[in-house]
């Protein structure tokens, strides 16, 4: 069936480096994508979103890139800080399912080494 | 107020108990959601309420019973749960026409 998946379950980076978290999606009808950050013991926190009519969107220290040709989404975090350590989920809307609901990918744990 | 609150933070219950999880938001959102999250897994959608009416039930067992008494409140009534139902239960809200959902901190449920 359709799914949203991530390439790497754990990513370890040095403080100050840039981080790139990848996500592959298979539902070509999805037109909305969102990244959430979940710290231990907390609920998911919105980071950034992007619609399918865009290739790139920037926020504060974060950039999301969308490649619809290969159905790939990435989250770039500039100058990674210890506070960025968390699990990151991508999610997509599965537009053709007729439901207004998000489907989450399996998550990537980002570990920032001081 | 831009947050979703959930009570209790932690809940331990036996398989014969009846308990309820509560969720509240005051952002004027008219869509509210329940998710279940097992350890090291993504949130899994359980129920969606839109304008206080149940719009999605993801084939959730009847031992979970949602209720949306008004536009700010969402409850999840629990009865005769199984140990495998132990998980983090997350509530979220959004505007019905917007997909960005705001999540609460969750209730950590343990079923003995």
Q: Which of A27, A67, A92 is nearest to B101 (CA)?
A: A92
Residue A83 has φ and ψ, to the nearest 5°, of -70, -10
pLDDT band at B71 (very low <50, low <70, confident <90, very high): very high
Mean local confidence (pLDDT), A57-78:
96
Minimum CA–CA partner of A30 in chain B: B99
Mean local confidence (pLDDT), B29-58:
93
Verify whether the Cβ–Cβ distance B99 to A100 is below 8 Å. yes
Using the structure block, give the residue that is written with the tokens 């619609």. A51
Q: How does the average pLDDT of chain B come out, rounded?
A: 94
Q: Is A36 helix (H, G, I), strand (E, B) or coil?
A: strand
Cα separations in angstroms, B72 against A100, B58, B79? 19, 22, 23
User: How many CB pairs below 8 Å do chains A and B form together?
Assistant: 51
Give per-residue pLDDT as tens, B76-91.
999 999 999 999 999 9
Helix, strand, coil shares of chain B as percentages rounded to 5? Answer: 5, 55, 40
Smallest Cα distance from A91 to chain B, Å = 10
Give per-residue pLDDT as tens, A79-113.
999 999 999 999 998 765 556 688 898 899 999 99
Smallest Cα distance from A39 to chain B, Å = 10
Verify whether the Cβ–Cβ distance B40 to A107 is below 8 Å. yes
A94 CB near a chain B CB, below 8 Å?
Answer: no
Buried b (16+ CB within 10 A) or exposed e, A12-21: ebeeeeebeb
| Whether pLDDT at B18 is above 70 | yes
Q: Measured between beta carbons, which residues in chain A are less than 8 angstroms from residue B55?
A: 100
| Chain B residues within 8 Å of chain A (Cβ atoms) | 4, 31, 33, 40-45, 48, 50, 55-56, 90, 92, 96, 99-106
The whole-number pLDDT of residue A99 equals 64
Distance of alpha carbon A36 from alpha carbon B109, whole angstroms: 22
A70 CB near a chain B CB, below 8 Å?
Answer: no
Give per-residue pLDDT as tens, A40-51.
989 999 999 999
């Amino acid at each position: 069936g359709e799914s949203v998946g991530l390439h790497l379950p754990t990513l370890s980076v040095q403080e100050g480096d840039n981080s790139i978290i990848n996500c592959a999606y298979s539902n070509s009808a999805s037109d909305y994508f969102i990244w959430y950050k979940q710290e231990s013991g907390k609920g998911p926190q919105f980071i950034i979103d992007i619609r399918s009519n865009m290739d790139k969107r920037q926020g504060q220290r974060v950039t999301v890139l969308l490649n619809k040709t290969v159905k790939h989404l990435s989250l770039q975090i500039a100058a990674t800080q210890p506070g960025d350590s968390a699990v990151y989920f991508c999610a997509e809307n599965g537009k053709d399912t007729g439901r207004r609901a998000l489907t989450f990918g399996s998550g990537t744990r980002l570990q920032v080494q001081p | 107020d831009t947050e979703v609150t959930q009570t209790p933070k932690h809940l331990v219950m036996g398989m014969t108990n009846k308990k309820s999880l509560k969720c509240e938001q005051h952002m004027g959102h008219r869509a509210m959601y329940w998710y279940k999250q097992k350890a090291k897994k993504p949130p899994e959608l359980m129920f969606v309420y839109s304008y206080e009416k149940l719009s999605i039930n993801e084939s959730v067992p009847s031992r979970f019973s949602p209720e949306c008494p008004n536009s700010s409140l969402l409850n999840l009534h629990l009865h005769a749960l199984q140990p495998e139902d132990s998980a983090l239960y997350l509530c979220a809200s959004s505007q019905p026409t917007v997909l960005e959902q705001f999540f609460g901190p969750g209730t950590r449920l343990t079923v003995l």
